[in-house]
Amino acid sequence: MDFSNKMVLITGASSGIGTEFAKAFAAKGCSLILVARRSDRLHALAAELGTPCEVLPADLSKEDEVNRIAEIAKDQKVDVLINCAGYGLLGAETELALSDELNMIDLNIRAVHILTKKFLPRLVEIGNGAVLNVASSAGLLPAGPYLNTYYATKAYVASFTQGLAAELKDQGSKVYVGALCPGPVYTEFTEVAGGSQWDKGITAKECVEYAVKKMEKGKTLIVPNGSIRASLFFTRLLPRKFVIRFLAKFQKKKIERS
């Protein structure tokens, strides 16, 4: 797929991977709709990009805000939807606030699902366009103690997206649907999640450059980091209980170092 000169809507555009997607598509001559909570960051980014940008501040953990964004953007003839907004919460399940976890579920799952459903019918109708849902390599693993709900939300996104891509292929549609499943990326994620910085990761720019290349080639499941791809392969060969115990120790160390 050629992404030049498209209309692209990006959620979570105020930082990290979302910001890098905005820069990558701006470099392709695209017009952008930038969505995130932090209006000041969105306006600063829009001023920097040098391409037509519409700034839409919104808290996508609230369903009425998700629907508002979809309603505003529907007349813009969006060609590409990048569902990037999301976050994690690190800690023991018994210690995390239920309200915080439900807020995360609403953002990581409901917002992604609703926006995908709102924008996809038009893309299918015109027979062109793309939806990329940012999941995580965490969503491809059996479970993630101490980052438990986050892993579960990303498993939902990865499964939903792969299933949707298969449906469209079965129907002969040319619309691209993919899931970006990065491992550790140097962003604000760990600060928000409440843990220490990742030990070995890639930059958000590296993540996005790899993702866009794979989108152009029609790749459904995108895992940017080579070492993470290898790790995911080997975890499939190991007993699930062993993998879960290892992840528990790994995440617990982040709490201890924070």
55-69 CB burial, b ≥16 within 10 A, e <16: bbbbebbeeebbeeb
DSSP conformational letter for 5: T
Q: CA-based angle 188:193:195, to the nearest 5?
A: 95
30 within 8 A of 134, measured Cβ to Cβ: no
Residue with structure tokens 């976890």? Answer: 101
Identify the active-site residue in 150, 156, 176, 210: 150
Active site residue 150: yes
13 within 8 A of 26, measured Cβ to Cβ: no
CB within 8 Å of 226: residues ≥ 6 apart: none
Q: State how far the Cα of 150 lies from the Cα of 193, in Å rounded to an integer.
A: 10
**Residue (of 23, 17, 195) closest to 96 by Cα position:** 195
Active site residues: 150
